[in-house]
Amino acid sequence: AQSVTQLGSHVSVSEGALVLLRCNYSSSVPPYLFWYVQYPNQGLQLLLKYTSAATLVKGINGFEAEFKKSETSFHLTKPSAHMSDAAEYFCASTAIQGAQKLVFGQGTRLTINP
Amino acid sequence: DAGVTQSPTHLIKTRGQQVTLRCSPISGHKSVSWYQQVLGQGPQFIFQYYEKEERGRGNFPDRFSARQFPNYSSELNVNALLLGDSALYLCASSPGQMNTGELFFGEGSRLTVL
């Protein structure tokens, strides 16, 4: 069965600092992996997705993530945090390309300090 | 273009009551999925509908049901409400049954059960 674990329910960084949000997956088959962002009182928005084409995936708003099969990880990074990055971030996976049943992690709340 | 729209945005019910939540997908999208997001957790898959047929179901009791209409809009019904049903209910649409993994989410219907 698939599962997704996000390490750290809260992450706080200073404006301009590196953002690193951790995600590990467990899957019996090669997964397809996603990062979604949820701003307050809004729905989820796709940041980026890994579908086996390239291990380093670039997304919107300067975010990127690297798929590491040996570590079963798909961590999200951004070189320089901006105040507008404050939000809840969810890692998700599906074992079947295009399948709509996404399995989400519990989320990481990112706070940006001025 | 309008995104995924959900109604109502907020509602309060008491235990034992029934609730109906509505979702209109993005124009041209034929697939609708429903997710439950309990406070502090990631979304959990409830249903997927495509072309008016149920294509997937999550681990939810039979009190939860849904349907999709000819115009691809959808309703989620929950009977005999329990306190634990309090959550944000998210609707997501996509063009087809199987896609590239990008789901377009609405802002959700926040249900409080007293």
- The CA distances from residue A98 to A1, A42, A83, B84, B95, in Å, are 17, 24, 33, 30, 11
Interchain proximity A100–B56, CB inside 8 Å: yes
pLDDT over 80 (residue A96): no
What type of residue is A47?
A: L
The candidate with the shortest Cα–Cα distance to B27, out of B55, B3, B51, B53, is: B3
Residue-wise pLDDT for A25-50, tens only, equals 987 666 789 999 999 878 899 999 98
Instruction: State the Cα–Cα distance between residues B65 and B17, nearest whole angstrom.
Output: 15
- The CA distances from residue A5 to A43, A73, B27, B46, B103, in Å, are 21, 9, 34, 20, 20
The token duo for A17 is 């600092």
Distance from CA of A110 to the nearest CA of B (A): 13
- Cis (ω within 30 of 0) for the bond into B70? no
Mean pLDDT rounded to a whole number for chain A: 90
pLDDT over 90 (residue B97): no
Task: Give the per-residue pLDDT at B101.
Answer: 65
Helix (H) or strand (E) holding A97: none
Question: Pick from B41, B42, B48: which is nearest to A100 by CB?
Answer: B48
Residue-wise pLDDT for A68-92, tens only, equals 988 999 999 999 999 999 999 999 9
Evaluate whether B13 touches B114 at the Cβ level (below 8 Å). yes
Evaluate whether B32 touches B91 at the Cβ level (below 8 Å). yes
User: What sign does the dihedral B9-B4-A67-A70 (CA atoms) show?
Assistant: positive
Task: Give the per-residue pLDDT at A23.
Answer: 96
Contacts of A100 in chain B (CB under 8 A): 31, 33, 45, 48, 55-56, 92, 94, 97-99, 103
Between CA A52 and CA A97, with CA A69 as vertex, the angle to 5 degrees is 35
